[in-house]
Amino acid sequence: MSEPIRSATVLPAVRTETELHTPDGLTLVGELSVPESHDPVATLVCLHPLPTAGGYMDSHIIRKAAARLPALADIAVLRFNFRGVSSPRGTSEGSFGHGDDERLDLDAAMAFVAERGLPDPWLLGWSFGTEVALKHGLEHDVVGAILLSPPLHRTTAAEVAAWSGSGKRLVVVVPELDDYLRPPEALERFASVPEREFVAVDGGKHLWVGENQTVRVLTEIVARLNPAVLPLPEEWP
């Protein structure tokens, strides 16, 4: 028999509590989730929404990526709290860095990925996390970045344009009903990166609430990291 995959479903994986150590001496708390019985085919490094608005490593899309993608798509998922952020896993040292000091948090995450030999890393930024990815992701050996609901509040036009010709993929996923940046304006703001992959999601909202929106987001992720396993199953034995 099979059970439907729902919001609270946690599929099998090897989950390890992690500590990331930043170049400025802070310890960040996180978790690495990998497939149970074999090596991952790719790695997702998750950058969560705005800490001052309640964003953390358990923000629901990131939590569900870690809960499902190791089993459904053979993807390793690293999630962590940015500096100064708390979750049930614990509190990362430091204080909110407005997207600037979080560069060092990303440094720590990518050093961890390299130390563990995790393959083909991608950045997954959601809202504030997209700002960190856009501003600092080009410094790292990543395949690319997937941006969910990018507000472009802290990212300059020059920082966006720098992705053009970088050789790194940029996937921009914009909900139709976003609170900050909707598809028509987003197309204009990302026009400086002609090779970007642009996905406008009809009926989508900034927080991606609901199982249908969750599945759409996870599908867009898997379509880049391991498309051979699509479509994602709706049930699990």
pLDDT tens column, 67-117: 999 999 999 999 999 999 999 999 999 999 999 999 999 999 999 999 999
Joined tokens for residue 74? 């053979």
Residue whose pair of structure tokens reads 């051979």 in the numeric block: 228
As given in the structure block, the two tokens for residue 173 are 């996923």
Give the percent of the chain with pLDDT over 70. 100
Summary mean pLDDT of the chain: 98
Alpha-carbon span 182 to 108, nearest angstrom: 32
Distance CA 236, CA 173 (A): 27
What residues make up the domain containing 129? Answer: 15-226
Query: 160 pLDDT band (50/70/90 cuts)?
Result: very high
CATH code of residue 72: 3.40.50.1820
Does residue 26 sit within a domain? yes
Total domains, the chain: 1
CA–CA separation, 74 and 68 (whole Å): 9
Give how far Cα 178 sits from Cα of 13, 100, 118, 164, 181, Å: 33, 24, 33, 25, 6
Q: Is residue 5 part of a domain?
A: no
42-47 and 121-126 beta bridge pairing: parallel
In a domain, 69, yes or no: yes
Instruction: Please give the structure tokens belonging to residue 113.
Output: 């990925």
1 band by pLDDT with thresholds 50, 70 and 90: confident
In a domain, 57, yes or no: yes
pLDDT digits 0-9 by tens, 18-41: 999 999 999 999 999 999 999 999
Q: Is residue 183 part of a domain?
A: yes
Provide the percentage of residues in the chain whose pLDDT is more than 90: 99
Q: Angle at CA 155, nearest 5°, toward 153 and 156?
A: 110
Beta strands in the chain (DSSP E): 3-4, 14-21, 27-34, 42-47, 75-80, 86-87, 90-91, 121-126, 144-148, 169-175, 197-201, 235-236
Indicate whether 193 pLDDT > 90: yes
Give tens-digit pLDDT for 114-132.
999 999 999 999 999 999 9
Whether residue 9 is predicted with pLDDT greater than 90 in this model: the reply is yes
Among candidate residues 99, 105, 96, the one with its CA nearest the CA of residue 52: 96
Owner of token pair 């992959």: 197
Helical segments of the chain, H only: 60-73, 102-116, 128-136, 157-161, 183-189, 211-225
CA–CA separation, 146 and 110 (whole Å): 16
Residue 234 falls inside a structural domain = no
| Domain-located, residue 8 | no
Rounded to whole angstroms, how far apart are CA atoms 178 and 175? 5
Is residue 102 in some structural domain?
Answer: yes
Confidence of residue 170 (pLDDT cuts 50, 70, 90): very high
